[in-house]
Amino acid sequence: MKIEKMTAAHLDGVCKIENDCFVHPWSRESLESELQNDNSLFYVAAEDDKVIGYIGMNFVLDEGYIYNVAVSEDFRKRGVGSALIRTLVTYCKKNSFSFLTLEVRQGNAPARSLYESFGFIKVGERKNYYSEPTENAVLMTLYF
């Protein structure tokens, strides 16, 4: 598995994962736009030149806001999500970020456990943040 910065060449693979993993996936145009955004950073995990996962964030000064972490279903529980998060955490540490934060479905215990393993802590909730099904979001933050 190789982790690298996302480029336009990865868009088809990222879009497939978006559509497979999320009820309301990002459009290709939105993802393309983020590639041009100086305040966004996306990484992909690839195996044999196939995108198997990705992570993206937006940042303002020294604050990081994770957009999405997604791994193709066939590659889950193989360390892909951990590798992607580790890559982003390392970037944030090297660039003196104050924190990195995200929202996760309250009922997504595997994801919450993964984030906790990196030191993210629950800092709040957003009521009914998600739809289909309606569910609260747990706000989790890693302070550096």
| Catalytic sites, residue numbers | 103, 115
C-alpha closest to that of 116 among 104, 126, 128: 104
Q: Which residues, in sequence order, are CB contacts of 132 under 8 Å at separation 6+?
A: 23, 24
Whether the CB-CB separation of 36 and 2 falls below 8 Å is answered with: no
Other Cβ atoms within 10 Å of 25 Cβ, number? 18
Amino acid at 36: Q
